Structure 1
Amino acid sequence: MSVTPRLHTAGTAMLDRARGLRPLIEREAAAAEAQGRLTTPVVDALHEAGLFDIWVPAPLGGAELSPRELLDVFEELSYADPSTGWVVMATTLENGTAGAYLGDDAVERIFRGPRTPLIAGQGTRPGTAVREDGGFRLSGQWSFASGMPHAQYAHSLATVEGTVEGTDEARIFITPIEDVEMLGNWDVLGLRATGSIDYAIHGVFVPESWTHVATEDEPLRGGAVYRLGVLDQSLICHSGWALGVGRRLLDELVRYAGARAGRPGQIADSDAFHTDFARAEAGFRAARALVHQTWADTERTLDSGRHLDVREETMVRLALNHITWTAAEVARFVYASGGTSALRDGLIQRLFRDVHAGTAHISSGPRLLKECGRELAGLAQGQSWALFALE
């Protein structure tokens, strides 16, 4: 008789390690932005601290953090530097889901070394795959592969043509980086150090064990967190990222205002600023509380052996959308309050750009918010979530 996996928890060790890396990450952030990728000292330190293993299933030697433990680590790293938090959240998600869902042959190859390899890629815009004996022939071009300059494997979504009764099946394909053509077109407003380049794969054979159905939510290894499936797990990533960046923006404004206290005409003596700051702080804390309450509820569901129902799926999407756009509102307030100091090159300017780059992600788009409202209003009876829409 099979046993339903329980939710695995690992404690605060990984959070403590992430916090310990903050001085290094902050020192390297400007250099990383200039070169369009994380610096070697930061990547090496993240490896040495085990932070690329936080999502890897425990049976493979990973930490396998719970959703709220993951939130805390992503918040901490994103507070130190939004690009660093973004790269870690993207690669660890793909490392973890590969470990949970791929076949034994692939897992034994990928996770056999002393240092966990990084998997990076794109899971929202599919390529195409044709079934062949023992596997698939994969081709396509994908955009925004965060962390790809540091990766040893690519994670790519593709549709397999004519799989079942003339329909297409969406699958995730893991391929060695040697099979990837890097298109190197990374010139963007924010999150510059994520190295989220475009890439292409041209007719590469991928064995069956190196793939899994994109909607897979029953792990071959590991506990209940993997019953969320790839998409719902990705919502943890972006929620933790927004928590860290929003908090850092408010804290930087506190430092900016405090340094100007006592000077005539400065915001530190402005009643209007005091009022607006109170509103911004309350709004951010309320959005943060929604994220944590929602994921606490989710953890209880997972630990009980159930999958999320439609309302619970709605709430994890709504919590992400709300914290992301709350962080964007905070960024606009901080930027406006920072005057010419925010206009010049520096931390507030970079945070402002990074937040607005983050809001462009599909997981925080207006369609998702509309769909959440429709479900919450009781107007989606009998429908369920398919990616970011109700059907």
Structure 2
Amino acid sequence: MGTLVLDTDSGTNLPVQRSARFATRAATLRDLIKSEADKPENAGATSLNVVEAMREAGLYWLLVPESIGGVNTGISEFTALAEEVASADSSTGWSLAAQGIATMVAATFCSDAHVERMFGGARLPVMSATYAPTGKAVQTGDAYTGSGRYSFGSGVSHADWVSSAFVLQDGGKPVMQADGQPRVVGAFLPADRVNILGNWNVAGMEATGSFDYEVAEQTFPLDWTFNQYWTEPMRPSRAATIGTLVSVCAGHTGVALGIARRSLHEAAHAASLKKRLYATASIADTPTFKLDFVRNEAIFQAARARAYELFANADRKANANQPLTETEIQQIRQVTTWTHQICRDVAVTAFSSVSSSLRRPSILARNLMDAAVAGQHFIVNDMSLFDAAPCIIDQWADESAQSAGGTW
């Protein structure tokens, strides 16, 4: 697992995971995803035709433990899946990745009783979740009573269960834990118990359906909830071993790689066909395009290789049931943010290189805006690089100190 090889059968020069069978399965849906994404009626959320096709292909349950019907794959394969789907349509890839994580959280951290309630039917469920604790709840015996309003519920309009986070209250004040943090519980509620507000009007990632939603005041049993800090997995899985944060990074990285990959393909194709006014050669034959393209292709390949290298290492640790070190986690945070910056730069260059990209419909224009919006997620802001810096600097300093004479 995790070995990089050339995918000579697919007609691409991109290295892929040898075990990326679900990315290969997703590739068979590529034409459907692209055609559905171009329909105006699907501008606000993922097409239900695509959702159903991805369910039939088993794409939502890669990180779910095998004991309850999932695949329990490594995050390298999850990244490859997100990349493949996002290269067909970035919004669809985003929703799939977000809902794959949400479904993993439900399967890994919820009580046995609630997992049986959610996963015990004839059809495996698909979840949506938000993690910001903008709700409040109080304990009343063996139940909680809570309410709240939430943002960025990716895929909530076609989810079966929806998770929301509540800060527990006592006497109108947050209940504090021993570590000084407020106690926060997540609760997966049936989708018909949340009110979707339908206000997803955005510049990019339009079809993720990341609507705000409201949980009106209601009571739910304690066993419907889980520790929102993800510190108490109830059943083993590879994702639980390496941590939810790393799995989230893997999904976001895959989406960014998919956007950049599609942008490079579209720019190369369009530039080979188009000529500037009065020019005798195609745009692809101009020195400026050649230089810009090979530079961006190089940084894309470098970011992609580094990302899969780190995720393959995480898979090896998960297979050995070993947690990641703090340095390994911070390296993944670093590459996730860096990949989004590369994605944005590639999308800008690809859009700028072909003037026809400004006319709708334009995948280069859509990718440009999607890359900009993807880079706004809290997990890839510059603070992630500041947080990662001490571990990474110390690693380089330690390696230098171990060399002959203490310097290179």
> TM-score, normalised on structure 1?
0.89
> Which amino acid counterpart does residue 157 of structure 2 have in structure 1?
P
Contact 1:55 1:64 (8 Å CA) reproduced? yes
Query: Following the alignment from structure 2 to structure 1, what is the Cα–Cα distance between the partners of residues 285 and 294?
Result: 14
Contact 2:86 2:259 (8 Å CA) reproduced? yes
Query: Following the alignment from structure 2 to structure 1, what is the Cα–Cα distance between the partners of residues 36 and 385?
Result: 36
Residue 86 of structure 2 is matched in structure 1 by 78
Query: Following the alignment from structure 2 to structure 1, what is the Cα–Cα distance between the partners of residues 223 and 241?
Result: 19
Match of 1:178 among 178, 183, 192: 192
Query: Following the alignment from structure 2 to structure 1, what is the Cα–Cα distance between the partners of residues 243 and 220?
Result: 22
Per the alignment, do residues 126 and 301 of structure 1 end up closer, same or farther by CA in structure 2, a change over 3 Å counting?
Answer: farther
Contact 2:32 2:50 (8 Å CA) reproduced? yes
Please give the secondary structure, in 1, of the residue aligned with 2:151: strand
Corresponding position: 1:366 with 2:382: yes
CA offset digits 1:184-240 (Å, max 9, x no partner): 111000111111000111222232222111222453224232123332221111011
Corresponding position: 1:159 with 2:172: no
Match of 1:376 among 383, 386, 392: 392
Contact 2:64 2:237 (8 Å CA) reproduced? no
Report how far residue 125 of structure 1 moved.
Answer: 4.5
Per the alignment, do residues 148 and 302 of structure 1 end up closer, same or farther by CA in structure 2, a change over 3 Å counting?
Answer: same
Query: Following the alignment from structure 1 to structure 2, what is the Cα–Cα distance between the partners of residues 10 and 144?
Result: 34
Query: Following the alignment from structure 1 to structure 2, what is the Cα–Cα distance between the partners of residues 128 and 234?
Result: 25
Corresponding position: 1:20 with 2:20: no
Q: Which runs of 4+ in 1 moved over 4 A?
A: none
Please give the secondary structure, in 2, of the residue aligned with 1:291: helix
List alignment gaps of at least 5 residues for structure 1: 1-6, 380-391
Residue 305 of structure 1 is matched in structure 2 by 321
Query: Following the alignment from structure 2 to structure 1, what is the Cα–Cα distance between the partners of residues 291 and 377?
Result: 31
Query: Following the alignment from structure 1 to structure 2, what is the Cα–Cα distance between the partners of residues 329 and 183?
Result: 33
Match of 2:111 among 99, 103, 107: 103
Residue 130 of structure 2 is matched in structure 1 by 122
Match of 2:76 among 60, 63, 68: 68
CA RMSD of aligned residues (A): 2.4
Match of 1:93 among 101, 105, 108: 101
Corresponding position: 1:214 with 2:228: yes
Residue 29 of structure 1 is matched in structure 2 by 37
CA offset digits 1:328-366 (Å, max 9, x no partner): 000110111021333543211111111111111111111
CA offset digits 1:295-352 (Å, max 9, x no partner): 1222222233222221111011001001111000001101110213335432111111
Residue 307 of structure 2 is matched in structure 1 by 291
Per the alignment, do residues 125 and 325 of structure 1 end up closer, same or farther by CA in structure 2, a change over 3 Å counting?
Answer: farther
Match of 2:265 among 246, 251, 274: 251
Query: Following the alignment from structure 1 to structure 2, what is the Cα–Cα distance between the partners of residues 294 and 124?
Result: 27
With 294-303 and 190-199 compared, the bigger mean Cα shift is at: 294-303
Match of 1:168 among 168, 176, 182: 182
Equivalent residue pairs, number: 374
CA offset digits 1:148-195 (Å, max 9, x no partner): 110121111222231546852122211111221211111000111111
Report how far residue 84 of structure 1 moved.
Answer: 0.8
> Which amino acid counterpart does residue 68 of structure 2 have in structure 1?
L
Residue 143 of structure 1 is matched in structure 2 by 151
**Structure number with larger C-alpha Rg:** 2
Query: Following the alignment from structure 2 to structure 1, what is the Cα–Cα distance between the partners of residues 101 and 111?
Result: 17
List alignment gaps of at least 5 residues for structure 2: 3-16, 169-173, 396-408
Residue 211 of structure 2 is matched in structure 1 by 197
> Which amino acid counterpart does residue 54 of structure 1 have in structure 2?
L
Query: Following the alignment from structure 1 to structure 2, what is the Cα–Cα distance between the partners of residues 328 and 167?
Result: 35
Contact 2:26 2:84 (8 Å CA) reproduced? yes
CA offset digits 1:111-134 (Å, max 9, x no partner): 112222221121134322222222
Residue 241 of structure 1 is matched in structure 2 by 255
> TM-score, normalised on structure 2?
0.86
Contact 2:27 2:85 (8 Å CA) reproduced? yes
